[in-house]
Amino acid sequence: MIIINGQQGDSIHVMDRSVMYGDGVFRTMRMRDGRIHCWIGQYRKLEADCQALDILCPAQSILEQEINLLVRDTPDCVVKIVVSRGEGGRGYGVPDSVSPNRVVLTAPIPVYPAHYWHDGVRLHVCEMRMCHQPRLAGIKHLNRLENVLARMEWSDPDTPEGLMLDAEGSVVEGTMANIFMRQGNTLITPDLSACGVAGLQRERILAFAPQCDLEPEVNNFSLPALLQAEEVFMCNSVIGVWPVRQIGAYAIPLGPTSAQMHSLLESETA
């Protein structure tokens, strides 16, 4: 089911700037028992991303009303919110009269093998490299061509995620998730000030680290450094946390942190 600007529908104008230029932002969230997990944090992220692109963010109350309409018959689902700058003429210049468009839709929860959460997943090392653009770094904007091209590189159903590096060879993220590695009692995630998406669950895990006797660190690291980690895991708002058991041809040891973090992320009050 899809709601566009408060009305049920399934199409948006061809001249919408999200279609023409990827000019907008989005959030993907998990709905459980009719409630969006960590909704306040998700809305805060949406609002910040809109502000970064100078797009008027829809009011929280309006989005809540529309989400409630969508989930009456599907209380357990994935909810996606898209906010476009709106409809404009040809050309990159933004018309003075442009008005944001919003789309709220639901989708089935992806079905993944249960062993992903316990035995870990394999990662494909993507050839596609991410470009540095500090102006857009961290934002969940609609121009995701780097991720699309990276995801086209493999089709192995037993490899659910890919690892993306930047042009300098530093680890950035997965195609759909943030990444962490543990060395001793230090939990490290890449610095996303040049590129990448700073997800809500990444933010929460950094905050949870002291509860697990870990020192959180945001810093750049290379693929060889990642392959030497004592533990690696991925996170996003739909999967929670997946431990990583293999990167390319290299085996990665499993550890206790991924399960601890998954449990903390599942708790709305943590």
Label residue 10 exposed, middle or buried (CB < 10 Å: 0-12, 13-18, 19+): exposed
Q: In whole angstroms, how large is the CA radius of gyration of the chain?
A: 19
Known catalytic residue: 28?
A: yes
User: Structure tokens of 7?
Assistant: 């009305």
- Whether 80 is a known active-site residue: answer no
Instruction: With H, G, I as helix, E, B as strand and everything else as coil, classify residue 63.
Output: helix
Instruction: Identify the active-site residue in 28, 74, 159, 186.
Output: 28
Which among 180, 183, 182 has a CA at the least distance from the CA of 191?
Answer: 180
Identify whether the C-beta of residue 48 lies closer than 8 Å to the C-beta of residue 112.
no
Active-site option among 66, 87, 146, 173: 173
Which one-letter amino acid corresponds to residue 78? V
* Angle of the 257-266 helix axis to the 200-208 helix axis, nearest 10: 110
**Euclidean distance between CA atoms 234 and 199, whole angstroms:** 11
Catalytic residue chosen out of the listed positions 106, 140, 146, 231: 140
Instruction: Cite the active site residues.
Output: 28, 140, 173
